[in-house]
Chain A
Amino acid sequence: MTDAPRFAVVGRVNKGKSSIVATLAEDDSVRIDPRPRTTTEVREYPVRVDGRTLFVLVDTPGFEDAPRALAWLRAREVSAADRPARVAELVRAHEGTDAFVEERRLLAPILAGASILYVVDGAKPYRPNYEAEMEILRWTGRPGMALVNRIGGGDHADEWRRALDQYFRIVRDFDAFAVSFEERLELLEAFRALRPPWRPAVDEAVTALVAQRRRRRAEAAGEIADLLADVLTHVEELALEDEGALAAERDRLERSFHDALRRREEEARRRVEALYRHDAAVFEGAALARPVLNQDLFAERTWELLGLSPAQLVAASAVAGAAAGGVIDAAVGGASFLAGSVLGGALGGGAALWGVGRRFARARPVGPAGVPSLLLEARRFVSRARRFRVGPHAQPNFPWVVLDRALLHYEAVVRRTHARRGVVPLADGRAGVVAALGAGERRALDATFRRLRRAAPDVPRALRDALEREVARVLERVDPLPGEPRPAAGGGHG
């Protein structure tokens, strides 16, 4: 055991102690279950910075027999100065018996010096029998703070606060299932008030957590930039006899091409979730209310809700000098996501390739540039076999839809606390994020998207890094850190 500050999270069974620990420790492995006695042992969650333990959260079993324990203490009433010793006696006297098992376990770290974080469920009504627990904790003489958690939809926080104020110096609301990063930091900062000598350790932990969060956000920007670069430059190759056979292979090609993009998006999502240590979270599924996250990348509904409107697309691309094909696509992009690059298909592969090009991408013969190309053409002439390259995806709204989905997913990830298990329900049904970006920001992104497409399949690192910087600026608004400007109210996301 180290000398680091300890905070024992105590309370009645099933009031969210483990949820609070899971959220503060970002630990999906903490068992959270509606059944009582999920936590049967004291379990420590050290907050370490570079291997040094700054403070320790201690998850404990819940009170199960507090009225009787209090009755035992009161039967041996002593002066206030001797009450902590009496509580220690309660623990000692019942060692080796099956009396007060949970109480003895949860009181042990407190008697060893831990401060108290007393957790109640503010969604359920207050009952006087909780006073037995609070009274026992008061008898320990340790500094404590009460946390009003919320499990469910009720709201009895006011009556809880009126009771808790009488027993604890600090009472705070802390919804372990919906708390923001900033609120978590505020809670940690409140720890300092419990015992001033612990302030430096808590301050250092807060600083380190902010730095870690900033680093995660930067890495998430990298993941999203990689995703965009990959899907915008994705090409597939296939060998066929001639261009006519290419049209016959259209469905298989489309499936393969789209499947690859879906897989890439899925991979990026898992990476972003891993950054935030969401090992057990499920961010999509039947229960997901927000359709755009749940919908397939190529579902028509997705394209209606996400990305930019036709007018926004034209504005973003025309100002930056888009190719004629891009503007034509922009004009029809909102009406049909399958419109694709008709012009691109025509230019890239000739009239026979229109069908493929219209659906999702350009198709063109594969070969090196310059002299090797001539040699290859000669070989083709002899063998009559040709290889075609399909892609990259030419639809102007495509990168915007991908970016929008990535941003919505990112938002869900950063807002999901580690107390949530299973599918994360997202109730609001608003549209995407990119439509709310500023015009200048959209133009800059659009220009980068077009440069990426032109550079396909070998994207210069500098271009990809430029995209990452632009994405990072957007993420700063989705997940602002303390001291950074907050997103404007009604700004489309937040």
Chain B
Amino acid sequence: MTLANLIDLEAQLARDRDADPAALAARDRALLARGPVDPRRPGALLARWLDALREREPGALHPGRAVARALAAVRALLAVAGVGVGWGAATALMTYGGGHPVNVWDFLLAFVGLQAALLVLLLALFLLPLAAAGAPLAGLFGGAVGWAYARIARRHVEPGREAEWRALWHRLRSRRSLYHAVEPWLLLSVTQAFALAFNVGALAAVLRLVVFTDVAFGWGTTLVELDATRFHALARAVAWPWRALWPEAVPSEALVAATRYSRLEGAYLLAGAGRSARPELVGGWWPFLVASLLAYGLVPRALLLAGSRARVARLLATMPHDDAEARRVAARLAEPHVETRAPLPEAAAAPPRSGARRAEAAPPGTPAALVLWRDVPGGDALAAAASRALARPVAAVRAAGGGGHEEDWAAWADGADPVVVVAEAFEPPDRGVRRLLEDLRGALGPRRSVLVLLVGDAPGPGTPRPEDVRVWRDAVEALEDPFVGVEPLRLPGVAP
């Protein structure tokens, strides 16, 4: 996992947050369908996933590489600035105008003392618990950024979307806790690029001045106790790191004694016996100063830069990605994607015919003929119930099942009006019953009444459910026959 991938991962997770989970599952599983998927290495798996996504959706926002490039650009800019500042600082400190010597103290203070102090502070930030050292700074920085973000959101976001911006901010802060280990090292690598460049610039300036100008060094103090012997001991202590490697860069006691400078001496060149005659002596500090710059500035910063970059790379590579969202992605990638639906949704059903109308009623008093459709139970009891419900006698009863053997309806139903088809309402009207009704119409002529009498499934002749009656009415209306009607069996005195 790289920094660019990490940023792209966050952007992708944010984008997928509102997507259809089934669509995500299908997309992700298809993305890595070609290669093996090992969920035990989530970092590598997520990196492959992101690569595939970038290829599949080039138009989508993948800011990782841009951010990584921006970070590299910031680092480069800082390096350029560092070289300039370092060069300028060293030039300012070491410029000798012929009046006063370059004070070794100033150089040591700026390039050794200050740098060493900053280094110690930096190490303390990393080694001590963050709450003790870094939290105040980090809290100040975070608070300021958060406050600025809120103000920008209030001023520039259209009304109603403030909460959305706030949620995004809190989400970013929430996710930040996952990467808090990387953040300081990343910051360190950027700052050390500046620091290294600063030292490079300073070193280059020092060497330029030493080679191309004649610089006279000196040291001085107001403190009486700090005599040449003590200053020499101090210089030797400072030179301890390179004493064995570069003995010439350790100032001798004679050099220290000879380059002590007092404000009472007036003009530097005119004062002090023999100093002006020995330029190698007054210029002899430069190896010590260069070595100081190397040992306390350039080398530690280079090591810190290399170390922090290696640490960032290692942290990114070994990031566990065990948070819930990353785990969900890994699961989507590793587990089979199941689809059970039809490729296309089924079209909506046609609406039922409207405009229910009543069938033309049979003449009063004429007997009815009953056709018992498909196993409708009840026998005599059903015939009696139908007779009561129709308020007319039943002249004939016959069973029909749609098997194709019912014929001669005209002779059978002679004199009966209406002809009543008794059916169980819970059995929907199918092609068989529609054909029966058409056969009856054909046999009985165009104006004989045909009634479908519906019974329910309760033991004994029962009243059907209204929704079943509605289904039958819709089906019979489709026949467009004004003399065919549908009625539920309603027994007198029995509530439906």
- Does the CB pair B346–A48 fall under 8 Å? no
A248 close to B (CB within 8 Å): no
- Does the CB pair A49–B323 fall under 8 Å? no
The interface residues of chain B lying within 8 Å CB-to-CB of A12 are 427-428, 430
| Contact mask for chain B residues 324-359; partner A; CB cutoff 8 A; 1 contact, 0 none | 110110011001111111110110110010000000
A14-B428, A68-B402 given; A47·B349 CB < 8 A: no
- Does the CB pair B349–A35 fall under 8 Å? yes
The interface residues of chain A lying within 8 Å CB-to-CB of B426 are 121, 124, 152
- Does the CB pair B375–A127 fall under 8 Å? yes
| Contact mask for chain A residues 63-88; partner B; CB cutoff 8 A; 1 contact, 0 none | 11111101110000000000000000
Task: Give chain A interface residues in 170-226, CB to chain B under 8 Å.
Answer: 205, 207-209, 211-212, 215-216, 218-219, 222, 225
The interface residues of chain B lying within 8 Å CB-to-CB of A154 are 457
The interface residues of chain B lying within 8 Å CB-to-CB of A34 are 428, 467-468, 471
A29-B345, A36-B429, A215-B331 given; A371·B140 CB < 8 A: yes
Task: Give chain B interface residues in 35-71, CB to chain A under 8 Å.
Answer: none
The interface residues of chain B lying within 8 Å CB-to-CB of A370 are 136, 139-140, 143
- Does the CB pair A71–B349 fall under 8 Å? no
For B180, give the chain A residue with the smallest CB separation.
Answer: A460
- Does the CB pair A48–B177 fall under 8 Å? no
Partner of A209, one of B338, B401, B404: B338
- Does the CB pair A13–B430 fall under 8 Å? yes
- Does the CB pair B341–A26 fall under 8 Å? yes
A46-B339, A208-B336, A218-B328 given; A38·B432 CB < 8 A: no
B278 close to A (CB within 8 Å): no
Task: Give chain B interface residues in 285-308, CB to chain A under 8 Å.
Answer: none
- Does the CB pair A461–B332 fall under 8 Å? no
- Complex Cα gap A233–B167 (Å): 11
The interface residues of chain B lying within 8 Å CB-to-CB of A132 are 403
The interface residues of chain A lying within 8 Å CB-to-CB of B15 are none
B92 close to A (CB within 8 Å): no
The interface residues of chain A lying within 8 Å CB-to-CB of B126 are none
The interface residues of chain B lying within 8 Å CB-to-CB of A373 are 143
Tell me which of A30, A62, A369 has the highest count of chain B C-beta atoms within 10 A of its own C-beta. Answer: A369
A45-B341, A50-B29 given; A368·B147 CB < 8 A: yes
- Complex Cα gap A475–B323 (Å): 19
The interface residues of chain A lying within 8 Å CB-to-CB of B343 are 46
Partner of A464, one of B143, B163, B174: B174
A440 close to B (CB within 8 Å): no
- Does the CB pair A274–B331 fall under 8 Å? no
Partner of B336, one of A27, A50, A127: A50
- Does the CB pair A274–B177 fall under 8 Å? no
The interface residues of chain A lying within 8 Å CB-to-CB of B435 are 65
- Complex Cα gap A25–B140 (Å): 56
Task: Give chain A interface residues in 81-113, CB to chain B under 8 Å.
Answer: 101-102
- Complex Cα gap A477–B83 (Å): 64
- Closest Cβ of chain A: how far from B202's Cβ, in Å? 32
The interface residues of chain B lying within 8 Å CB-to-CB of A274 are 20-22
Interface size in chain B (residues, C-beta < 8 A):
66
- Does the CB pair A208–B338 fall under 8 Å? yes
- Closest Cβ of chain A: how far from B59's Cβ, in Å? 25
- Does the CB pair A51–B170 fall under 8 Å? no
Task: Give chain B interface residues in 93-152, CB to chain A under 8 Å.
Answer: 136, 139-140, 143-144, 146-147
B210 close to A (CB within 8 Å): no
How many residue pairs link A and B with beta carbons under 8 A? The number is 196
- Does the CB pair B143–A369 fall under 8 Å? yes
- Does the CB pair A211–B428 fall under 8 Å? no
- Does the CB pair A372–B147 fall under 8 Å? yes
The interface residues of chain B lying within 8 Å CB-to-CB of A275 are 21
- Complex Cα gap A271–B435 (Å): 49
- Complex Cα gap A457–B402 (Å): 72
- Closest Cβ of chain A: how far from B106's Cβ, in Å? 32
A284 close to B (CB within 8 Å): no
The interface residues of chain A lying within 8 Å CB-to-CB of B374 are 67, 127, 129
- Closest Cβ of chain B: how far from A474's Cβ, in Å? 15
Partner of A44, one of B140, B177, B342: B342
The interface residues of chain B lying within 8 Å CB-to-CB of A51 are 30, 33, 337
- Does the CB pair B325–A71 fall under 8 Å? no
The interface residues of chain A lying within 8 Å CB-to-CB of B346 are 29-31, 43
- Does the CB pair A459–B342 fall under 8 Å? no
- Does the CB pair A29–B29 fall under 8 Å? no
- Does the CB pair A459–B174 fall under 8 Å? yes
A33-B349, A370-B140 given; A65·B178 CB < 8 A: no
B475 close to A (CB within 8 Å): yes
A329 close to B (CB within 8 Å): no
| Contact mask for chain A residues 253-282; partner B; CB cutoff 8 A; 1 contact, 0 none | 000000010000000000100110100000
The interface residues of chain A lying within 8 Å CB-to-CB of B263 are none
- Complex Cα gap A127–B424 (Å): 11
For B26, give the chain A residue with the smallest CB separation.
Answer: A51
B474 close to A (CB within 8 Å): yes
Task: Give chain A interface residues in 126-155, CB to chain B under 8 Å.
Answer: 127-129, 132, 152, 154
- Complex Cα gap A124–B33 (Å): 48
- Closest Cβ of chain A: how far from B174's Cβ, in Å? 5
- Does the CB pair B175–A461 fall under 8 Å? yes
- Complex Cα gap A12–B139 (Å): 72
- Complex Cα gap A314–B20 (Å): 40
The interface residues of chain B lying within 8 Å CB-to-CB of A209 are 338
- Complex Cα gap A31–B342 (Å): 12
Partner of A13, one of B177, B335, B428: B428
- Complex Cα gap A128–B29 (Å): 50
A36-B430, A129-B374 given; A212·B457 CB < 8 A: no
B155 close to A (CB within 8 Å): no
- Complex Cα gap A301–B433 (Å): 53
Partner of B432, one of A33, A68, A277: A68
Tell me which of A24, A207, A462 has the highest count of chain B C-beta atoms within 10 A of its own C-beta. Answer: A462
For A230, give the chain B residue with the smallest CB separation.
Answer: B167
A285 close to B (CB within 8 Å): no
A243 close to B (CB within 8 Å): no
- Does the CB pair B404–A31 fall under 8 Å? no
Partner of A49, one of B338, B430, B475: B338
B431 close to A (CB within 8 Å): yes
Besides A29-B345, A31-B348, A68-B432, 14 more A-B contacts (Cβ < 8 Å) are A12-B430, A34-B467, A51-B30, A51-B33, A67-B404, A67-B432, A68-B404, A70-B403, A121-B426, A124-B426, A211-B336, A216-B21, A274-B21, A461-B177
CB-CB nearest 6 A-B residue pairs: A29-B345, A64-B431, A368-B143, A460-B177, A36-B428, A64-B430
* Residues of A bordering B, CB below 8 Å: 12-14, 24-27, 29-31, 33-36, 38, 43-51, 62-68, 70-72, 101-102, 121, 124-125, 127-129, 132, 152, 154, 205, 207-209, 211-212, 215-216, 218-219, 222, 225, 230, 233, 236, 260, 271, 274-275, 277, 367-373, 376, 457-462, 464-465, 468
A-B contact pairs, 24 of them (CB 8 A): A25-B342, A27-B341, A27-B342, A29-B341, A30-B342, A34-B468, A36-B428, A38-B349, A47-B338, A50-B336, A67-B404, A124-B427, A129-B374, A208-B336, A212-B338, A215-B25, A215-B332, A219-B21, A274-B22, A275-B21, A368-B144, A457-B170, A461-B175, A462-B323
